[in-house]
Structure 1
Amino acid sequence: MIGAIFAGMIVLLLLAVPICVVIAMICLIPYGLDPTFAASPMFILRNMVSGLDSITLIAIPMFVLSGIIMARGGISKKLFNVFSYFIGDKTGGLPCAVVITCLFYGAISGSAPATTAAVGAMTIPLLVSLGYDLTFCAALVAIAGGLGVIIPPSIPFILYSMNSGASVGELFIAGILPGILIGVCLMIYSVYYCKKHGEDKEKLHENIGELREKGFLRVFLDSFWALLSPVIILGTIYGGICTPTEAAVISVVYALIICLFVYKTLQPKDLYAVLREGVETYAPILFILGAAQAFSRVLTLTQAPQELASVMGSTFTSGIALILVINLFLLFVGMVMDTGPAILILTPILVPIVTNAGFDPVHFGVIMIVNLAIGFVTPPIGNNLYVASTLTKLPVTAIAKKAVPFMGAFFIALLIIVFVPQVSLLLVR
C-alpha cells in the first residue's frame, strides 16, 4: 500500500498534475485498494477542512501580505542604502550589502521568491550600472534570496511546525545563526569573486561618495523605520509578548503605517492591488495545506512513518550515514518539488525516523529547510532562478551556472549546520 501511494505520486507529478490535486488523489489510493480502509473520501474531505482550522496558519497569509506591502513600499532600498554606506567602497562591499539586505528583508517577508524579487529589482540595475557582471548579479540575488526562508519569520518553518509538533518560536530562534552563517559564506565568496575579476573602483567611490555626502544621520534616519521592522516582528516573539500569529498581524499593521504615512511610498488606492496579490499568492498554498493535512492522517493510518523508520534503522546503523542519506534525498526533492509541498509531504515521514535516531526535531527542521532552500536555485523548479531571469531577461541556465560557486558556499554552511547542532540549538537551549 505504501509503495502504491508513492508510485501514484511519482506518476501524477510526471504528468504535471497540480501538486494540490496530486496530494488529494494519492490520499484516495489506500481506500481504492481496500474499501474497508478508514480513510474514505468523506474522511479525507473532513480532514482537509479541519486541517485548516488552525490559529498558527493565520500567520502565513499575514506574513505574505506584510512582505508584499514592504516590497511595493520600496523598503529594500532603504535597507540597502544603510548597509552600502558602511561597506560599499570595500572590495566586494556592494555584493555583500546585497546579502545583508536579503538577510534583513527575509526577516520581513519570510519568503525566498519575495526576497529575491524585492531586493533584486532594486539592486541588480544598480550593480550593473557600477560595472558588475549582469549574470553574477542575478546569481547573487537568486542565491541570497534563499535566506528569506531561513531567517525568521519563515513560512516553511511554520509549515514544518504544523506537521512535526515542534515549537514555531523555537524554530524561528533556531534559524537565526544558520541564516547568518550562510550569509557569511556567501559574502566570503563574493569578496573572492570581486578580487579575482576586479571592480570599477572609480564608479564605486563616486556612488558611495554621493551616499555619504548625505551624512550618516540622514541615511540612518531615512532607513530607521525599515530597520526597525524585523526588530519589532522578532522582538515581540522572542520577548514573549506575542505569538508568531499575533506578530504576523502586527507586521501587516506596521508595514501599512510606515509605507502609507511615514515613507508615503504607497497610496490608499494601491491597497486593492496589494490585497489582490496577497490572495493570489496565498490561495494556492491554502489548497495544498488542506490536502497535506489529510495526507498526513492517511500516512498515520497506514503506519508508513513507522515502517520506513524500521527499514532505514535496520539499513543505516550509523546516525551519520542516515542523516547524510536524508540530506541527499532532500537536496534531490528540492530540485523537483516546491518547498511548501515538500515540507508538508515529507515532515510526517522523516521526523519519526530522525527522532528515533536521536536527532532533535528543531535541529532537523533547520536542516530540512536549508536543504530545500538550495532547491530555490536548482533547476527544474528553481523559483528564485525564474524570478531573477524575469528581472534580468537572462536564460535560467546561465544564471544557474553562475550560481554554482555560491551553492558551494551554501553546501559548506549546510555541512556545518548538520554536524554542529549547536549552530541551530545554541539560542534555543
Structure 2
Amino acid sequence: MIDPFTLSMVLIAALALSGLSVGLAMMSGSFLYLIMMDMRMPRGFDPSIATEQLLQGLYNGYTLLAIPLFILAADIMNVGSLADRLLRFCQALVGRFRGGLGHVNVVSSVIFSGMSGSAVADAVGMGKIIIGLMTRDGKYTPAYAAAITAATATVGPIIPPSIPMVLYALVSDQSVGYLFAAGMLPGLLMALSMGIMNYIIAVRRGFPVDEAVPARELPRVTREAFPALMLPVILLGGIYGGIMTPTEAAAVAAAYALIISVVLYRSVSLASFWGTLKAGSKSAGSIGILIAGSITFNYVITRENVPNDLAAFMNGFDLSPTGFLIAINVLLLLLGCVLEGGAIILIVIPILIPTVQAMGIDLVHFGVIAVVNAMLGLITPPYGLLLFIVSNVTNQPVGRIIREVWPFIIALLVALGIITFVPDFVLWFPRLLGYQG
C-alpha cells in the first residue's frame, strides 16, 4: 500500500508543476494525507488536530498583519509621485559617476527597500522608471538595464522592513525587530557589491558619465524628496525606540504614504487608490494562501518526524557548523532555481531549524542567510520571478537578461559568503539594540 506521506508529496509536486498556487498545492496534498491517515487509523488518528493547528497558527500570528500593510504602503508609493522624487534625489547623489544611472538604480533600491519590504514592489515601481531613464537615448542596453534592476531589487527584503523576515519570524519564533536589525548591514553590503560590479562593467563597456546635477539644485531636490526619505526613519525609529511594534509600524507606513501622496504631493486620485487596494488585496491574499498551506503542511511533516530525521541524517555526516552552512547555502540556492522565496521560507526552513539549533547556529543569523538565499532565487534561472517581471517591462527575451545578470549574481554570492561566515557582521546591530545571541 502506498505511503500517505509519499503520495501527498507527489500530489503537491504535480499540482505545483501544473501551475496551481503552491499554497493550494500544499493544502491539497495535506488534505489527502489526512484523509488517508484517517482511513488507515480510524481510532488512532484525529484529523481535527491539523485544523486546530492551522487556526492557532493564524490566530497567534499577529505579526502577519504587517504583510498586507507593507504591501499597501509600497503600492501607494508606486502610484504616487514618491518614486519619481526619490529617483531625482538618487540621481543628484551618484549620477555623476561612471555608469551613473546604474549606481542610481542601486541607491534607489536601497532607499525604496526601507519603505516596501518587497523585491517585486521595488522592481515593478522604481524599476519601470529607472529602466526608462537608462535606456533613453541608447545609453544602456535594455537587457543590461533590466538585469541590474532585477539584481538590485533583491536588496528590498533584506534592509528593513522586510516581508520575508516576517515570514521567517513566524516559523522560527524569533523577534521581528532583531531580524530587521540583522538585515541592515547585509543589505548595504549587497548594494555595495552590486555598485562595484556596475562600475567595473561601466568602465569595460564605456558607459557614459551623466551630467552632474548643479550644486544649487541639490537643496531643492532634497527638499522635494525629504517627506519620502523620512518614512524609513519613522519606521525604524518607531520600532527600535519601542514606540511601535512591527505590525503597528506597517500600519503607520501605509497611512504616512497615503497622507503625503494625497495631501502633500496630490498625486493619488480616488480611482488610483481603489486600484491600489484591489491589487494589494490580491497580493496579500496569495501570500495568505501560501501561509495557510504551509501551516497545514508543517503539521504533516511534524507528524512524520521529518525535522528530527533530517537532523539525524545530517549528524551522520559529522559536519562542522561551517560545513553545514555551506551545504545549506548550496541547497537553498538550488531550491531557489525552482521555488518561490516565500515557499522556501515557509516549507523548507522549518524542517532545517532543529538541525540549526543542534549545530549551535544563531537563529537570527540563520534567518538572514535564508532570506538572502531566497532573494537570490528571484534572479536565478529557470524560475527567477524578477527576471520575468523586468522582461515584461523591457520586452527583452529572458535569455538575454540572464546573460547580463550573471555578474551581479557573482557579486551577490561574494556578499552571501561574508554574511554566512562572519556572523558578528550580521549580529553587530542587533546586539547594539540588546540582542543576547
Q: Is TM > 0.5 for Structure 1 vs Structure 2?
A: yes
Separation of aligned partners in 2, 1:121 and 1:31: 45
Give the gaps of 5 or more residues in structure 1: none
2:415 maps to which residue?
413
Residue 86 of structure 1 deviates from its aligned partner by 2.5
Does the CA contact (< 8 Å) of 1:417 and 1:423 recur in 2?
yes
Equivalences for residues 63-212 of structure 1 within 5 A: 63-129=70-136, 131-201=139-209, 204-205=210-211, 208=212, 211-212=213-214
Paired positions, count: 423
Q: What CA distance in whole angstroms lies between the structure 2 residues aligned with 1:421 and 1:77?
A: 37
CA contact (8 A) 1:260 1:268 kept: no
Partners of 1:63 and 1:109 within 8 A in 2: yes
The answer to whether 1:23 aligns with 2:26 is yes
Over 3 Å counting, the alpha-carbon distance change for 1:288 and 1:323 in structure 2 is: same
Between the aligned partners of 2:414 and 2:90, the Cα distance in structure 1 is 25
**Worse-superposed segment, 213-222 or 395-404:** 213-222
Quote the residue 1:395 is aligned against.
Answer: 397
Runs ≥4 in structure 1, deviation > 6 angstroms? none
Q: Distance in 2 between matches of 1:318 and 1:270?
A: 54
Task: Return the offset for 1:29.
Answer: 5.0
Indicate the residue corresponding to 1:52 in structure 2: 58
TM-score by length of 1: 0.94
- Alignment deviations for residues 335-387 of structure 1 (CA, whole Å, 9 cap, x no partner): 11111122111121011111111110100100001111111112232111111
Question: How far apart are the structure 2 equivalents of 1:382 and 1:101?
Answer: 21
Supply the RMSD in Å over aligned alpha carbons.
Answer: 1.8
Percent identity between matched residues is 34
CA distance in 2 between counterparts of 1:277 and 1:34 reads 39
Between stretches 293-302 and 30-39, larger displacement belongs to 30-39
User: Contact 1:51–1:294 (CA<8 Å) still a contact in 2?
Assistant: no
For 1:414 and 1:93, how far apart are their aligned partners in 2? 25
Between the aligned partners of 2:156 and 2:256, the Cα distance in structure 1 is: 19
Which is worse superposed, 88-97 or 393-402?
Answer: 88-97
Q: Please report the TM-score for the alignment, with normalisation by the length of structure 2.
A: 0.92
Contact kept, 8 Å, 1:112 with 1:148, in 2: the verdict is yes
**Structure 2 matches for 1:164-313, cutoff 5 A?**
164-201=172-209, 204-205=210-211, 208=212, 211-212=213-214, 215-313=217-315
- Consecutive unaligned residues of structure 2, counting only runs of 5 or more, are 432-437
Contact 1:28 1:39 (C-alpha < 8 Å) held by counterparts: no
Contact 2:100–2:208 (8 Å) recurs in 1: no
**For the structure 1 residues 142 and 16, does the alpha-carbon distance in structure 2 shift closer, same or farther, using more than 3 Å as the test?**
same
CA shift at 1:39, angstroms? 6.6
Which residue identity lines up with residue 65 of structure 1 in the other structure? L
Query: 1:427 maps to what in 2?
Result: 429
